[in-house]
Amino acid sequence: MALISWAIFGAIVGGIAKAFVPGKVKDGWVPVIGIGIAGSVIGGLPFGEGPAGIVGSVLGAVLLVYGLEWWRASNV
């Protein structure tokens, strides 16, 4: 059950990050869920649970999107 919760929360956070950074995430929903989960780990854990954790998760996902774009551009 926890895995399903992480996937749902990752989809929400990844979707919000995708909305904040339009055009940067050109992948499908599976990578967006992965970005959301990774962003939750990067930004959500330091802020804890509740509203601060959600904001931290979104910030972490947005930073991850910019980091991935920078990495993709430098490897071309």
Q: What are the pLDDT tens digits along the chain (76 aa)?
A: 677 877 788 888 888 888 888 776 667 788 888 888 888 888 877 877 778 888 888 888 888 888 888 887 887 6
Degrees, nearest 5: CA angle 55-43-27: 90
Degrees, nearest 5: CA angle 55-56-61: 100
pLDDT score, position 25? 66
pLDDT score, position 1? 66
pLDDT score, position 28? 78
pLDDT score, position 19? 83
pLDDT score, position 68? 81
Residue 47: HSE in the Cβ half-sphere, 13 Å Cα cutoff: 18
Q: What is the spatial distance between Cα 23 and Cα 50, in angstroms, rounded to a whole number?
A: 29
